[in-house]
Every structure is written in structure tokens, then in C-alpha cells.
Amino acid sequence: MTTDPAATGPDTVIDTDGHAHRAYRVTGDELVLVRPDGYVAARRPADDLAAVLALVATNGL
């Protein structure tokens, strides 16, 4: 999810008003993995996508 309206991609979600960023208290470039029940499963620096993907793979999220 990004606040950048110029971002593109098939899985890009644009949060132009910053609602999700405020709700999950995202600061700067950060990855937040949110489970379907709304629980935050992980927070990582934006450049640590591999760790988030590994968490998804091992936990079936």
C-alpha cells in the first residue's frame, strides 16, 4: 500500500487519504503485514520484503 498516486502494478493499493497509514501507525518506508482479522502480524523496514514473504510462507498467512 502506498500514498503515492503515481504508483502502479496489479497488486498496488493506493491510500491517497492516508487512512490505513494512520490506522496502523506507519512511519516512513515500512512494511506492515495485516492478517485478514486485522491483527498486525509483522512490521519490517520497506527493504526487508524477503522477511515478510518468508513469514507468509512459513505461517500460511
Give pLDDT tens digits for 19-46. Answer: 888 888 887 788 888 888 888 888 888 8
The answer to whether 52 touches 42, Cβ cutoff 8 Å, is: yes
* pTM for this model (two decimals): 0.65
The grid coordinates listed for 14 are 493506493
- Pick the more confident residue, 60 or 29: 29
31: left (phi over 0), alpha (psi -120 to 50) or beta: beta
Average model confidence (pLDDT) for the chain?
A: 82
Average pLDDT over residues 6-20: 78
| Angle (nearest 5°) at CA 18 between 26 and 52 | 40
**What confidence score (pLDDT) does residue 1 get?**
67
The grid coordinates listed for 34 are 495485516
- Residue type (1 letter), 20: A
